[in-house]
Amino acid sequence: MSSEFPVGSFSQSDIGSRSLVPEALLEGHSPAITRVRTQIYRAAPHFRMAFLTGERGSGAEAVAHMLHQLSPVSHRPFYTLASADAEERFAADRSLDSLSTNGMLYLPQTECIPLTTLQALLRLIRKRGSQMPRIAAFTEWGLRPLVKKGSLSSELANVLGALVIKIPSLRDRSEDIPAILTHILENIARPSGAVTPQLTTDLLDAAMKRPWFGNLIELYSAAEGLMKHAAKGSLHASDLEAVLGPIPCETRTMRLDDVIRLHVRTVLFACHGDKRQAAQLLGISSSSLYRMLHNETHAIPESIQIQSLQPAESG
């Protein structure tokens, strides 16, 4: 039996195939992200288990990578166990005994991993103890709702909950958006040798006022769209509006159904029209998403290209 746990497919937890270093997504001077970075720096050298929570796409994978990079086992592999891989891989091995005794295991969709697999993971934690890889698990809803639902044991919830990191949404750290957007644009431009476009004050102001329901995924999608306008030189607020449409009206005065439809369309846009990925980010089934979009297709921008984000690569 192999001594290494096979690397699973990387899920679309943050920005898919994007090769930005974690610090680029977690940088900024807002109180919200400063608290997260402080927590990571303090915990990384010592933690064994961590639970990450927050909105989908807010930076959980970046937090997991940063925890790994700052840990004593940073030279060891970073494994991501996608929910689609879990049952098949563990069934093939009949147990988790092939799991490497070092490195980092990231669970981007804890709520989607079969209970039998999580129970096997708990048995291995009991057996291996300090020889287990460090584990970071993410879910939007918290651990207790999963326990109440019966999809997670209370013992494993207590183990994973030894360290809890709440990741803020972009709305909670809007002052960090200019720095993040600049880094993303530099990252997109670098491979082709293109010049990073200059961002005007009015564009940055407009970016900070947007709700960014899709968080980092939507921000990256917007940056890709902005690069298409970069040939004319400086980018303005009108360019951002051309890419994303006008800023939604104040949601506090909207009907709940309208808020839900707006959020669904925003996430779908951020996923380049990929309904399967959008359903995954929204935490609903594909069939539920199709029902929600029924008679709503006129509201989805025709410019959306139907393409999936590619899996992330990691060492």
Sheet holding 78-80, edge to edge: 78-80, 104-107, 134-138, 49-54, 164-167
**Model confidence band, residue 85 (pLDDT cutoffs 50, 70, 90):** low
Alpha carbon distance 249, 219 (integer Å): 19
Q: Which two tokens stand for residue 262?
A: 């707006």
Q: Is the dihedral of CA 43, 84, 7, 224 positive or negative?
A: negative
Q: How do strand 104-107 and strand 78-80 relate by DSSP bridges?
A: parallel
Cβ atoms of 281 and 217 within 8 Å: the answer is yes
Higher-confidence residue: 116 or 300?
Answer: 116
Alpha carbon distance 275, 298 (integer Å): 15
Q: Which two tokens stand for residue 266?
A: 């925003």
For residue range 234-285, what is the model confidence (pLDDT) as tens digits?
899 999 999 888 876 554 455 666 667 667 776 776 566 777 777 776 777 7
**What are the residue boundaries of the structural domains of the chain, listed by start?**
22-168, 171-299
Higher-confidence residue: 198 or 233?
Answer: 198
Please give the CATH number for the structural domain made up of 171-299: 1.10.8.60
Report pLDDT for 69.
Answer: 93
Question: Domain 22-168 is classified in which CATH homologous superfamily?
Answer: P-loop containing nucleotide triphosphate hydrolases (3.40.50.300)
For residue range 15-47, what is the model confidence (pLDDT) as tens digits?
444 456 677 889 899 999 999 999 999 999 999
Q: How many helices (H) and strands (E) does the chain have?
A: 14, 5
Report pLDDT for 1.
Answer: 30
Q: Is the pLDDT of residue 156 over 50?
A: yes
- Element (DSSP H or E) covering residue 315: none
Report pLDDT for 304.
Answer: 30
Secondary structure E strands in the chain:
49-54, 78-80, 104-107, 134-138, 164-167
CA dihedral 108, 112, 118, 119 (to 10 degrees): 170
Residue type (1 letter), 196: T
Highest averaged pLDDT of the listed ranges 196-200, 278-282, 310-314: 196-200
**Mean pLDDT, the chain, whole residue set:** 77
Report pLDDT for 233.
Answer: 78
- Element (DSSP H or E) covering residue 137: strand 134-138
Q: Which residue carries 């506090």 as its tokens?
A: 252
Alpha carbon distance 143, 123 (integer Å): 18
Domain 22-168 identical in fold to domain 171-299: no
Q: Which residue carries 């937090």 as its tokens?
A: 63
Residues 61-80, mean pLDDT to the nearest whole number: 91
Say what the pTM is.
0.74
